[in-house]
Structure 1
Amino acid sequence: MSSYFQPLIAQLSQRSAEATLSVLGISDPTLRQFLSEQFNQPLGDSNNFLADPVFEAIFGWEEANISMERLAGSLLERLLLDAMDNPPVDLKDYAFRKDWQPYQHQYKSWLKLSESKPQSIVITSGTGSGKTECFMVPVLNDLVRQYELQKQPLIGVQALFIYPLNALINSQRDRLRAWTDSFGNGVRFCLYNGNTPDKATSFNQTQTPNEILSRALLRSEPPPLLVTNSTMLEYMLVRQVDSPILQKSQGKLRWIVLDEAHTYIGSQAAELSLLLRRVLHGFAVNAEDVRFVATSATIGDKDNVSLQRYLADLAGISQDQVMWLH
């Protein structure tokens, strides 16, 4: 049993260390390196700050009575399903097979977010329930459909994924690489945080054409999918050097995803709400034309009205546009 979970335990330890360092906001490289080494000591070691993991049995989530293959050509683009079913060998763990059946809450979210009139959702299912697929699949599906029509790389930010921690931002890299690999530079993404370098070597960039690795390329050719945090969004709205991102994305923003929405309460929620309004203004779009998604594993309510109102107030949209999935 321990050997079976060993890769997962190591991953949990590493990401917990990254999240803690991110929260601490330590900028001194020497101190940061020292703490990183201490935090990443083997589990069970007296110097490791993470306790031994505890595994708890959970109930499975209900599957939809339809396979991914049957969604091809109707709800989802066949090229996207092919990419998800057959990722690069080194990213095979992120495969989403055609013969799999999505969970009910995933399928319902795909239906809702694919409607021609923009709709928004709050997803409050538990950890491990596939909340990421609820929004990432329809976003990528939208981008792939455009790429098929245009037959040229998509330029300009259309989707913003906003995460509270850099560790959460980085956790999406492999999944995005796996599912966009077959499109080359046609459907690109960028992880934009304080660690994003100003420049990247041409060799490294050529190795991963679907991911923008530097701020320089981000500014010259903004990708359709930008994964970032609220701090970097603030900078992007006010810094002259980042103005090309906004200029080349005018009127194109269609998606805003707020992951770990429970972290935005009180004054933080008020600040985020104001930031979102500035983002909409900066990208020259109206709130009612954007699909908003809020996800969390730790918030819930017997009555969905309060959660619908929560997202509606944050985004500045009508409560009628918001659906609750759990």
Structure 2
Amino acid sequence: MTKYLDPIAAVEQPRADFIRYLLTAYPLRDPHLRYGFKQLLEQPGNLWQHPYLEGSQPYKSSLSINDLVEQGVLHPDMATLFIPSSRRLYEHQEKAIRAVVEQQQNIVVATGTGSGKTECFLTPMLDMLLKEGDNLSIAGVRVLILYPMNALVNDQVKRLRQLLCRQKTTTKIKFGFYTSRTEKDRGKAIESLREEFAAYDPEELRQLFTSAEIKSIKDEELIDKAIEKTSQVQLLSREEMWEAPPHILITNYSMLEHMLIRPKEREKIFEASVNTFKMLVVDEAHTYDGAKGSEVSMLLERFKASVGVEQKGKIRCIATSASLGDASVDDKVIAFAGEFFGETFSQVIRGQRLNAKDRLGKPYTLPAALTNEEIIQYLSIIELPQQGSSISSWFDPLSAIVPEQQLKLAESQADSDIHKFLWFALKGHPLIHRLINILCREPKPWKEIVRSTELWGVNLPIKLDGSVDDTDAEVALAHLLQIGTLARANPDDLPLLPVRLHLLFRSLEGLYACINPKCSGAAHDPIYSDREVRYGQLYLNEKKPVNAVVRLY
């Protein structure tokens, strides 16, 4: 057999390891308790759930940065920051840019992971700053980007460095990130940056320079030159930001609260930005719910007051999140954003993924003799060739589900590349199209897809006990995903079946037992039927409808 990733094993192995760990970490001498504990751990819904399969088809594309520059929507210098500027934006990115830049709206961007949410606020933000022209020489915060944790702040810093280092103007847009990791004086900040850059891949540092600059930089000079280049666009220390606040300030809500309390930051940064502040961006907006959301909302009101924003509509606000439900809750999302920011929001912008037909074209027709039942059967027993095998070695396994003429056509288009061959052989297969269209809607439970009549085109057989026999269908789906993730038109493109498998676990709160050994739910290990049962039913938390429980762990 081959070493392709097996989706079934990818689910079952972590689950088995997790259960084995808990049984080891919480040893029980009583055999009946051990037996009952193991049963609880193995039941779905207690500490784990069946996995979800999510499709990651590309989003609908639209115009490029160049196009928006030519239309007069964006500043001409934007084409030098976003490289290549001819790359097409996603449809939702263009919609977000136009909403903020042209219509001056406050928006919520609610698109999935990997959908380019960052560009939805970076692009209008940088456009706004570039349009200030000579006024950029006036120190003061124009934009606050708020993140819930430092890890996200660090990722954003890397992205901004790369973009802003491409500036060709004398007066440059500058940013600073202000967290507990930010050093007070420049000397220590430089040393901290040197340590950070030393851990980088050299290729990552080279992205800060133009191709012409790279040619003149020796390998041993790379870190020093990167520090010098970064210093032109990033204020590294707190003292630098006190002296001249950056155009873009990045922080988290904990540090923002400290900054609003301390006189130094209040005076040197916020009061100095009274006449310059223009935009507030909050990433991962879904994390600010409940009491935490109320506290951060009041924090934002204090911040707005500190920079002289006392009326609605004076600033632009953008919230982003990948976890805000679907379009049916947009009214609630807009209401939440309005209350959270204390501003009026206009719309929720969501991404639209390509369906199978839009991305792959029309499906081909399978021979009438090839039934849906046979496809399931063939896929469940198919043996995939070893990795690196020739195209000819794939003909026999695929010939049972793909028409011969389609295989020959795919071979002629593949340039001896197995990934291209699989792409051209399968991109028109009706089963592939049905799976993509199912996953385009929303993440689905693995078992639901396995038993989907829409996917297979038939009802799965029923066992004697009345349950669905999905054994073959589950293996067939696993094999289909293995083949579909190998198929690519080009090395840098998404595979034919870009998917994510979500494994769901939660921590153990404790182990509790009813103190009545005659309880109807008491566990009995059949191997130790002669041993006395001393406890009743077991629970993994104490919130159960019993009068008296004892905590075992």
Q: Which bracket does the TM-score occupy, shorter chain normalised?
A: 0.7 to 0.9
Shift of 1:184: 6.4
Which of residues 249, 260, 263 in structure 2 aligns to 1:226?
249
Task: Tell me, yes or no, if structure 1 residue 291 matches structure 2 residue 316.
Answer: yes
Aligned to 2:143: 159
Task: Tell me, yes or no, if structure 1 residue 70 matches structure 2 residue 93.
Answer: no
CA distance in 1, matches of 2:134, 2:243: 23
Which of residues 182, 187, 200 in structure 1 aligns to 2:186?
200
CA distance in 2, matches of 1:303, 1:295: 15
Which of residues 309, 330, 338 in structure 2 aligns to 1:312?
338
C-alpha deviations, 1:108-134, integer Å up to 9, x for none?
000010136x42111110000000000
**Do the aligned partners of 1:300 and 1:307 also contact (CA within 8 Å) in 2?**
no
What does residue range 26-105 of structure 1 map to in structure 2 within 5 Å? 57-64=55-62, 66-73=63-70, 74-85=72-83, 97-105=84-92
Secondary structure at the aligned position of 1:212 is classed as coil
Secondary structure at the aligned position of 1:223 is classed as coil
Aligned to 2:386: none
Task: Tell me, yes or no, if structure 1 residue 300 matches structure 2 residue 287.
Answer: no
- Amino acid paired to 2:297: S
What root-mean-square deviation, in Å, do the aligned CA atoms of Structure 1 and Structure 2 show?
A: 2.2
**Do the aligned partners of 2:73 and 2:102 also contact (CA within 8 Å) in 1?**
no
Task: Tell me, yes or no, if structure 1 residue 130 matches structure 2 residue 156.
Answer: no
**Do the aligned partners of 2:107 and 2:318 also contact (CA within 8 Å) in 1?**
yes
C-alpha deviations, 1:178-233, integer Å up to 9, x for none?
11112566200011100000012399474421001000001110011001011111
Normalised by the length of structure 2, the TM-score is 0.44
- Amino acid paired to 1:305: D
CA distance in 1, matches of 2:69, 2:177: 29
Aligned to 2:6: none
Task: Tell me, yes or no, if structure 1 residue 115 matches structure 2 residue 115.
Answer: no
CA distance in 1, matches of 2:114, 2:287: 19
Which of residues 233, 240, 243 in structure 2 aligns to 1:217?
240
- Amino acid paired to 2:95: K
Shift of 1:247: 2.1
Aligned to 2:280: 256
- Larger Rg, first or second structure (1 or 2): 2
Shift of 1:138: 0.5
**Do the aligned partners of 2:278 and 2:315 also contact (CA within 8 Å) in 1?**
yes
Task: Tell me, yes or no, if structure 1 residue 170 matches structure 2 residue 167.
Answer: no
C-alpha deviations, 1:231-250, integer Å up to 9, x for none?
11111111012121012101
**Do the aligned partners of 1:63 and 1:101 also contact (CA within 8 Å) in 2?**
yes
Moved more, 189-198 or 76-85: 76-85
Normalised by the length of structure 1, the TM-score is 0.74
Number of residue equivalences: 257
User: Structure 1 residues 185 and 194 mapped into 2: Cα distance closer, same or farther (>3 Å)?
Assistant: farther
**Do the aligned partners of 2:145 and 2:281 also contact (CA within 8 Å) in 1?**
yes
Secondary structure at the aligned position of 2:137 is classed as coil
User: Structure 1 residues 206 and 67 mapped into 2: Cα distance closer, same or farther (>3 Å)?
Assistant: closer
- Amino acid paired to 1:175: R
Aligned to 2:453: none
Query: Structure with the greater relative contact order (CA < 8 A, sep ≥ 6): 1 or 2?
Result: 2
Which of residues 174, 178, 181 in structure 2 aligns to 1:188?
174
Moved more, 120-129 or 205-214: 205-214
- Amino acid paired to 1:240: P
Structure 1's unaligned 5+ residue stretches are 3-53, 86-96
Shift of 1:57: 4.8
Aligned identity (percent) is 31
User: Structure 1 residues 138 and 127 mapped into 2: Cα distance closer, same or farther (>3 Å)?
Assistant: same
Moved more, 265-274 or 54-63: 54-63
